[in-house]
Chains A and B, each alone.
Chain A
Amino acid sequence: MVISEDMNIAVDIAGLKLKNPVIAASGTFGFGREYSQYIDLNQLGGISVKGLTLEPRQGNKPPRIAETPAGILNSVGLQNPGVHSFIENEIPYIRQFDTAIIANIAGNTVEDYCKMAEILDDEDIDAIELNVSCPNVKAGCVAFGNNPSGIYEITSQVRKFCSKPLIVKLTPNVGDIRETAKAAEEAGADALSLINTILGMAIDIHKRRPILANNMGGLSGPAVKPVAVRMVYEVCQTVKIPVIGMGGISNGDDAVEFLLAGASAVMVGTANFVNPRACIDVLDGIKSYMLKHKYKSIYDIIGALELNQ
């Protein structure tokens, strides 16, 4: 581990205080339990938990994953134990550790989202992340997230029930992500996170069928990183609220790209599957970079990108 006493790596994302900018991305880290045998969860800035729905969900048929060049397609379809089980069984577990809990929520209707926000607002969590960008469920969800008016509607409604920091997670599957970003900001989001997965498809040429039972799925992993960096940059240029960047981050250098592009924190997803210590390695990598370039504060690198003229 890289140790530097006088290095300031804490970030404040619209009231969400993180001791460092590295968060485990929703859907890739369960509720933290599985990873606790490989890493010390106390070292994480935060954990965005598996996408929650009002009722338990079984998710899609298998196969739910296909490997593609430098990435994966998934079609889990939000399998989760439901918000009530999360409150009863998972919050107490994660709370043993000194790390922020971000509840990632998804639903079929605006009412679902509002209800969950209302329930979770009274619970011991640190922020709510609105997942309006899951490409793997038929009803709702992405339908809200793929157009500015849908985002505006759902964000402003949920806002009424949510006094905690509200993060809206954006989908890259839109024409111009700056428009959905702006809509979320205008509707009262405290922060944005992006990107969710990019809709994709992989075909088994011998069977002449898609590999995923769901036919299509969301692409993540190193393959999406340049697209994600570009989108984070564009969004940071457009909105005033803080942005959490993600998409293909596997090491500190990857994370620094997002920070330079303007992200105030990063989330690490697919990399956790390849390397269960990925979040810690990313954090150590950021610190090494800061040490090498003699930065004392993480804020010295956030948004420090200079464009070529």
Chain B
Amino acid sequence: MSKLLKEKIIKIEKLAPLLFRLTIQSEYIAKNAKPGQFVNIKCCDGIDALLRRPISICSVNREQGLFDIVFEVRGRGTEILSLKKPGDILDILGPLGKSFYAPKDNSKIAIVGGGIGVFPLLFLLKELRCAHKTAFLGFRSAENAVLLDEFKKESDSMYVTTDDGSLGSKGFVTDILEQKLSEESYDIIYSCGPVVMMKRVAEAAQKHEIKCQVSLEERMGCGIGACLVCVCKTRKDDGWEYSHICSDGTVFWSSEVIFD
């Protein structure tokens, strides 16, 4: 169950010129959040940046009742967020959305993340108890490739690509994934990032008959399934229907989703 909360910001760190990590005190979210879930944040009081901004949960610290989000400054809302100070109170609705499927302990899993989509997958890596974890991470450039030490710590093998080749191999993260899939198999692949990337991940998973989950993104109104704006096409009987990403997802089995 999600709640409307007023929580205190403990720490704010600049990870890259436009990337920030906020640490927030919240017993409720720390206790209840599952990987793949997000919070919907009112960036400031009043009518500026009117709607809440959806941001994924990047990690939780259950003992201390803390959770982290990592976000990129894109527009007004995230800019206001980036100017917050420790001690400020944040108006949060969460945790929202469905979480990733938890595989059996002896599973071999892979995560495939692109851009800001990598952060919710860090939470997943931290929570999963399974035999082997591989991380495939794609970034625009070295500058944006943050928290790699944490990804490294939480995974058994890690591959990094950048669009410009400034770190790891040059190209798309899906290129490496496809290459690896010809040598290795996984029980399940989890993906979050740009739609074009997730579509390729889903196709690769299907080709190799691997179960795959994707976490989708769309512009949101309410974040709780009431306004019906955040849709994606999913399969239904012989046809399709519009599902709602905030409440039916954000996590879907890739076989359910129709990527246009």
A59 contacts the other chain (CB 8 A)? yes
Query: Does A305 interact with chain B (Cβ within 8 Å)?
Result: no
Would you list which residues of chain A between 261 and 309 have a CB under 8 Å from chain B? 270, 272-277
Please determine whether B52 and A34 come into contact, CB atoms closer than 8 angstroms.
Answer: no
Task: Tell whether B225 is near chain A: CB-to-CB under 8 Å.
Answer: yes
Chain A residues within 8 Å of chain B by Cβ, number = 33
When the two chains form their complex, are residues A62 and B225 in contact, meaning their CB atoms are under 8 A apart? no
Decide yes or no whether B4 CB sits under 8 A from chain A.
yes
Of A22-30, A119-127, A153-161, A162-170, the stretch lying at the interface with chain B is A22-30
Out of A58, A65, A70, name the residue touching B229 (CB < 8 Å).
Answer: A65
Chain B's interface size range is 20 to 34
Main SS class of interface, A: loop
B51 touches A79 (CB 8 A): no
> B63-71, B161-169, B213-221: which one contacts chain A?
B213-221
Cα A175 to Cα B232 in complex, Å, equals 37
B50 touches A71 (CB 8 A): yes
Chain B residue contacts of A70, Cβ below 8 A: 47-48, 50
The verdict on A93 contacting chain B, using a C-beta distance below 8 Å, is no
User: Is B241's beta carbon under 8 Å from chain A?
Assistant: yes
In contact, B219 and A58 (Cβ under 8 angstroms):
no
Whether the Cβ atoms of B52 and A273 lie closer than 8 Å is yes
Q: Identify the closest chain A residue to B232 (Cβ).
A: A62
B contact residues around A30 at 8 Å (CB): 225-228
Residue in B42, B224, B229 whose beta carbon sits within 8 Å of that of A34 in the complex: B224
Q: Is B83 engaged at the interface, CB distance under 8 Å to the other chain?
A: no
Residues of B within 8 A of A241 (CB): none
Nearest-neighbour CB distance to chain A for B170, whole angstroms, equals 25
Q: Is the interface of B mostly helix, strand, loop or mixed?
A: loop
Contact between chains at B4 and A273 (CB < 8 Å): no
A72 located at the interface, meaning its Cβ lies under 8 Å from any Cβ of chain B in the complex: yes
Instruction: Indicate if B222 sits at the interface (CB-CB under 8 A).
Output: yes
Given A59-B242, A62-B219, A74-B221, are A274 and B52 also a contact pair (CB < 8 Å)? yes
Give chain A residues whose Cβ lies under 8 Å from the Cβ of B1: 37
1/0 contact trace for A212-249 toward B, CB 8 Å? Answer: 00000000011000000000000000000000000000
Contact A67 B51 (CB under 8 A): yes
Complex Cα gap A74–B227 (Å): 9
Query: Which residues from chain B contact A15 at a C-beta distance below 8 Å?
Result: none
Which A residue sits closest to B51, measured CB to CB?
A67
Residues of A within 8 A of B4 (CB): 38, 275-277
Interface residue? B205 (CB, 8 A) = no
Q: Are B50 and A221 in contact (CB under 8 A)?
A: yes
> B230 on the interface (CB 8 Å rule)?
yes
- Contacting residues, chain B, for A58 (C-beta < 8 A): 241-242
> In the docked arrangement, what's the CA distance between A76 and B228, Å?
7
Bound-state Cα–Cα, A71 to B50, Å: 7
> Which residues on the B side are within 8 Å of A273 (C-beta)?
51-52, 221-223, 226-227
Let me know if B50 and A72 touch, CB within 8 A: yes
Q: How far is the CA of A29 from the CA of B4 in the complex (A)?
A: 16
Q: Find chain B residues with CB under 8 A from A92 CB.
A: none
- B10: interface (CB < 8 Å): no
- Given A29-B226, A70-B48, A276-B224, 14 more A-B residue pairs with CB atoms under 8 Å apart are A30-B225, A30-B226, A38-B4, A50-B228, A59-B231, A59-B242, A62-B218, A62-B232, A65-B227, A222-B50, A273-B226, A274-B51, A275-B4, A276-B222
